[in-house]
Amino acid sequence: MRYEQELAQRATVMRKLARSLSDAVVQFEKSVGQTLRTFPDYKKARAQYLEIQSMIFTISDKAEEAPRQGVPEDLKGWLVRMRLRGIAAFTRISLAFFRHPPDMLVHALGAYEILEMERDAFEGVLRDYDMMLLEAALDDKTSEELDKVRLEMEEIVGLLEELLKTAPPPLQRFGD
């Protein structure tokens, strides 16, 4: 009896987490068309994206704690698809931002480090992206859409490379 209650409770928690994740992804996707005017606006969007990724890893960890105990069989695939949707939305938001970045971001002291971190982050996502596509077992239409997202990520990396060429050089300490 106690074991069955524990299973029911675990399943309820997983459903609530999954519902929260789904709601967060939908809300984030709705923000794709909004114009980000400042770097703090972009940082808020990035924080939302990272929150979604964190929720995905939390659900995955909870599912691994007790496999086959109130966890749907297709959960792993669903989580990969949620992650891909989050990446797609963040890529579109980032592309719009970095196509027309604010002058303060590009020409301010410290801009080089910020742009370099963003470039490195997108390069990291690109490395993982193809593996996620294979894991997700997507239909052809969805695969084509996500191939476009990959091209957009590559464009962002290229834009950041160009911005790095014109950004003020990183600050150096005396004695280095």
Question: Tokens in use for 15?
Answer: 């459903």
Q: Which of the listed ranges 6-10, 108-112, 159-163 does the model predict with the highest average pLDDT?
A: 159-163
- Rounded CA-CA distance 66/51 in Å is 23
Q: What local confidence, expressed as pLDDT, does residue 110 receive?
A: 82
Q: What local confidence, expressed as pLDDT, does residue 173 receive?
A: 67
CA 47 to chain centroid: 9
Instruction: Render pLDDT for 63-79 as a digit per residue (tens, 0 to 9).
Output: 877 666 666 777 888 89
Q: What local confidence, expressed as pLDDT, does residue 69 receive?
A: 61
Please report, rounded to a whole number, the percentage of residues in the chain having pLDDT higher than 70. Answer: 88
- The dihedral through the CA atoms of 92, 98, 99, 102 has a sign that is positive
Rg of the chain in Å (alpha carbons)? 19
Q: Which CATH number among 3.40.50, 1.10.357, 3.30.2310, 1.10.390 corresponds to the domain 2-166?
A: 1.10.357
175 with 167: CB under 8 angstroms? no
Residue 21: burial class (beta carbons within 10 Å; 0-12, 13-18, 19+) = buried
pLDDT interval class at 157 (50, 70, 90): very high
- Residue 176, pLDDT above cutoff 60: no
Kindly state the average pLDDT of the residues 161-169: 90
State whether residue 173 is helix, strand or coil.
Answer: coil
The b-or-e profile of 26-35 (16+ CB within 10 A means b, else e) is eebbeeeeee
Instruction: Render pLDDT for 16-45 as a digit per residue (tens, 0 to 9).
Output: 888 999 999 999 999 999 989 999 999 999
pLDDT interval class at 14 (50, 70, 90): confident
48 with 3: CB under 8 angstroms? no
